[in-house]
Amino acid sequence: MTAALATPLAEHVHWAIDREVSVLPRIFDPEITLAVMQRTLSPEVVGGARAQREARFPLSFSWRGNPEGEALGDDLRKALHAPETSAALIEDVVTLAQAMAYLFETEEVGVRLRRLDEAMCPRFHCDRLPVRLVSTYLGPGSEWLPDDAVNRAGLGAPSASKPDILRVPEALDTLSAGDVALMKGTGWVGSEDRALVHRSPGVSPGEMRLVLTIDPV
């Protein structure tokens, strides 16, 4: 993830990127639509993520509840392939879910952990909710655009009459595996018309992604 850190495109920078966890509350700044904590995953977490490749069927875990109890960890252990190898991965998911609940002062979060063998949302879009946490454990991370590179008239359902969404191809930026990103959606008051534009990356044959999303409820 390098392009947006140096790009001169955006007249008003609307992202905050750092290696410290203190960057995540920057999502509450009115001008910020993307807050990213860059991090390197431990070998134990990566090992747990890689174990999901061995499962016969792709992992598609969905959960909603209070992450402060033991239910989330217990349900992950039941759902994940090779749970004995995935302890660090499970702990990481629970920690991020608890952090999301704390940051947004909610007792419930929605958690999804999926193994993807193709792009889940290949078209540029904005999420129709206030905010979402996105983190990729394996494979390429989500792609996103600075505001100045977006033609928002092209968003929504595709049609021949709509212009291309991407105005400046070289402005495309990509999150790295391990990054914890908070993305504002159209449901965030004040960001209805300027929510972050992003998409799922393409997945090459034989490649896979393991992606976590968390929504405050």
Residue-wise pLDDT for 129-171, tens only, equals 999 999 999 999 999 999 999 999 888 877 778 888 988 888 9
Q: What percent of the chain has pLDDT over 70?
A: 93
Tokens of 46: 């990566």
0.75 cut: is pTM over it?
yes
Model confidence pLDDT, tens digit, residues 36-45: 999 999 999 9
Residue 93 pLDDT > 80: yes
Whether 216 contacts 101, CB under 8 Å: yes
pLDDT tier, 5 (very low <50, low <70, confident <90, very high otherwise): very low
Q: Using CA atoms, how far apart are residues 119 and 121, in angstroms rounded to an integer?
A: 6
Kindly list the structural domains of the chain, giving each domain's residue range(s) and its CATH number in brackets, ordered by start. Answer: 13-216 (2.60.120.10)
* Strands of the chain, DSSP E: 15-18, 34-37, 60-65, 109-116, 131-138, 143-145, 173-174, 180-184, 197-199, 209-216
What is residue 4's predicted lDDT score, i.e. its pLDDT?
46
Strand partners, 109: 65, 216
What is residue 92's predicted lDDT score, i.e. its pLDDT?
98
